């Protein structure tokens, strides 16, 4: 095992809030980086007010901010800006996810930051990026999803588009940002010079189009991505089928189609003119779905049907609820579900760390900070301020703290 975490020794000044930015620094905290979360007085990160809450403590905030230190300052006061300037000179990374222009108005745009610390890497996360006709607009996950053409392909074909009940764009944008920061820090080792990273939810969402964009473009518009409900519009059989008890996901891709026919006891379907190619199976999908669902109904349980498909290595899965996924033994064994203990909320489950390393120590239990909890520690221990200076800043409302 490694003697210390991979990012031990790296210090990040974190101007992020809500989800996309905190998702990036959450990963970096798990990897051992020293994350100093700058929160705006008087309330800090708005996600501190998100449900579920207990004793004014948000489980949402805790999940995204474990292992970070909180510095809560009134950024309208020039004295707080001097604190930030001092801090920038001691950090390797500055990350922010304000709307474009906000960090500049606060006095910490790229041109200022690079003068203060030429080796520092700055990462700006936004809905639409720092450049382009939409860059001035603010936005959240679903807004970028809509502009990326993703929302248009979610849902039933004869119904309005649907919303996925999880923040795919925010989280994956955070992962992309963490990845870009890793690359940029490697470049600092090579060149000795930092750079500015521009990461947008729109770009990261658009990157998820593994079929839609290239198929539409290469076909000259003949292949039009569309909402297809429970089944894929371009590959069959691929989708959600009714089982004897509930719903089952089956992906019999191309070479697996004959295997599915054989396990169904319907080898005649392999040469059936309606199903001989993927294109024909898509065109005759209603008949195909009826055949597969009829076969599934012959089993006493969903588990029995799934076992039959797993035995011949046709990819298949039950449609688990969140409660079932949290309790699943595989998810528990791998740490996909992680039980954490918070000093105010007690024990509860969160998604675990998705990155696994053969040579990285398991980190101790991490705590999310109280608002401004580390004000004095950061100013005295890192920046060399005296206790009297810190007390003066606290009394003047420049530094703010609260017990939640």
Confidence band (pLDDT; 50, 70, 90) for 262? very high
Q: How far is CA 98 from the centre of its chain?
A: 17
pLDDT exceeds cutoff 90 at 227:
yes
Backbone angle region of 272, left / alpha / beta, with phi > 0 → left and psi within -120 to 50 → alpha = beta
Q: Which one is catalytic: 14, 141, 170, 302? A: 170
Q: Is 6 inside any structural domain?
A: no
My answer on whether 146 and 84 are in the same domain is yes
Q: How confident is the model at residue 403 (pLDDT cuts 50, 70, 90)?
A: confident
Residue 365 pLDDT grade (very low, low, confident, very high; cuts 50, 70, 90): confident
342 is known as an active-site residue: no
Mean pLDDT of 95-111: 97
- Residues 184, 314 within the same domain: no
Residues 98 and 171 in one domain: yes
pLDDT score at 1: 53
Per-residue pLDDT, averaged over 24-51, amounts to 97
| Torsion sign, CA atoms 384, 390, 396, 402 | positive
Tell whether the model's pLDDT for residue 362 goes beyond 90.
Answer: no
What percent of the chain clears pLDDT 90, i.e. is strictly above it? 96
What is the structure's pLDDT at 364? Answer: 74
Residue-averaged pLDDT of the chain: 96
> For the domain that residue 305 is a member of, what is the CATH number?
3.30.1540.10
Within a domain: residue 41?
yes
402 is a domain residue: no
Average pLDDT over residues 174-199: 98
**Same structural domain for residues 337 and 310?**
no
DSSP state of 131: S
Q: Is the per-residue pLDDT at 281 higher than 80?
A: yes
Same domain, 139 and 269: no
Q: How many CB atoms lie within 10 A of CB 348?
A: 15
| SS3 of residue 352 by DSSP | coil
pLDDT for 294 equals: 98
294 plus 373 within the same structural domain: no
- Report residue 237's pLDDT band, with 50, 70 and 90 as the boundaries: very high
Last residue of a domain, one of 279, 297, 318: 318
Same domain, 99 and 203: yes
* Model confidence at 108: pLDDT above 90: yes
Determine how β-strand 316-318 pairs with β-strand 247-251: antiparallel
Name the percent of the chain lying above pLDDT 70. 100
CATH number where 153 lies: 3.40.50.10540
Give the model confidence (pLDDT) of 134-149 as tens digits.
999 989 999 999 999 9
Kindly tell me if the per-residue pLDDT of 360 is higher than 90: no
Residues 83 and 187 in one domain: yes
Number of domains in the chain: 2
30 in a structural domain: yes
Same-domain status, 300 and 346:
no
> Which of 318, 353, 369 is a domain's end point?
318
Burial of 243 per CB tally in 10 Å (0-12, 13-18, 19+)? buried
Q: Are residues 309 and 190 in the same domain?
A: no
For the record, the structure tokens of 21 come out as: 């930015």
Residue 76 lies in a domain: yes
341 and 304 in a common domain:
no
In angstroms, rounded to a whole number, what is the distance separating the alpha carbons of residues 369 and 25?
14
> Is-contact 184 194, C-beta < 8 A?
yes
Residue 368 lies in a domain: yes
Q: Give the structural domain span for 252.
A: 238-242+247-318
Residue 325 lies in a domain: no
| 190 and 334, same domain (yes or no) | yes
Under the banding of pLDDT at 50, 70 and 90, the label for residue 2 is low
Q: How far is CA 152 from CA 201, 229, 233, 235, in A?
A: 17, 12, 13, 18
**Of 295, 318, 341, which one is at a domain's C-terminal end?**
318
Strand partners of residue 123: 95, 197
**HEC secondary structure over 256-323:** HHHHHHHHCCCHHHHCCCCCCCHHHHHHCHHHHHHHHHHHHCCCCCHHHHHHHHHHCCCCEEECCCHH
Over residues 281-286, mean pLDDT = 97
């Amino acid at each position: 095992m490694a003697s210390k975490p991979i990012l031990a020794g790296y210090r990040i000044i974190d101007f992020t809030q809500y989800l996309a930015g905190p998702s990036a620094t959450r990963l970096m905290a798990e990897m051992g980086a020293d994350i100093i979360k700058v929160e705006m007085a008087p309330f800090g990160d708005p996600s501190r007010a998100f449900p579920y809450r207990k004793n004014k403590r948000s489980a949402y905030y805790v999940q995204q901010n474990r292992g970070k230190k909180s510095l809560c300052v009134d950024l309208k006061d020039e004295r707080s800006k001097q604190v930030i300037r001092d801090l920038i000179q001691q950090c390797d990374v500055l990350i922010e996810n304000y709307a474009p222009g906000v960090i500049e108005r606060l006095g910490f745009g790229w041109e200022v930051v690079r003068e203060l610390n030429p080796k520092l890497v700055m990462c700006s996360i936004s809905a639409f990026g720092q450049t382009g006709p939409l860059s001035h607009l603010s936005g959240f996950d679903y807004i970028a999803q809509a502009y990326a053409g993703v929302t248009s392909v979610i849902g039933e074909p004869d119904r309005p588009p649907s919303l996925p009940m999880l923040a795919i764009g925010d989280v994956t944008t955070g992962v992309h940002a963490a990845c870009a920061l890793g690359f940029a820090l490697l470049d600092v080792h090579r060149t000795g010079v930092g750079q500015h990273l521009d990461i947008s939810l729109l770009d990261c969402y658009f990157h998820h189009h593994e079929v839609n964009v290239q198929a539409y473009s290469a076909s000259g518009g003949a292949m039009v991505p569309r909402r297809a409900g429970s089944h894929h519009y371009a590959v069959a059989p691929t989708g959600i089928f009714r089982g004897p008890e509930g719903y089952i996901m089956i992906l019999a891709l191309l070479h697996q189609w004959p295997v599915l026919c054989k396990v169904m006891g319907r080898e005649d379907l392999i040469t059936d003119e309606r199903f001989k190619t993927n294109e024909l199976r898509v065109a005759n999908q209603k008949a195909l779905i009826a055949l597969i669902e009829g076969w599934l109904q012959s089993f006493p349980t969903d588990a029995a049907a799934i076992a039959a498909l797993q035995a011949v290595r046709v990819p298949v899965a039950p449609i688990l609820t969140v409660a079932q996924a949290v309790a699943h033994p595989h998810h528990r064994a791998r740490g996909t579900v992680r039980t954490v203990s918070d000093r105010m909320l007690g024990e509860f489950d969160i998604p675990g760390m998705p990155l696994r390393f053969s040579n990285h120590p398991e980190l101790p239990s991490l705590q999310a900070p109280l608002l401004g909890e580390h004000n004095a520690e950061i100013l005295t221990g890192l920046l060399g301020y005296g206790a009297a200076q810190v007390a003066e800043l606290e009394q003047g409302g420049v530094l703010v703290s609260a017990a939640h």
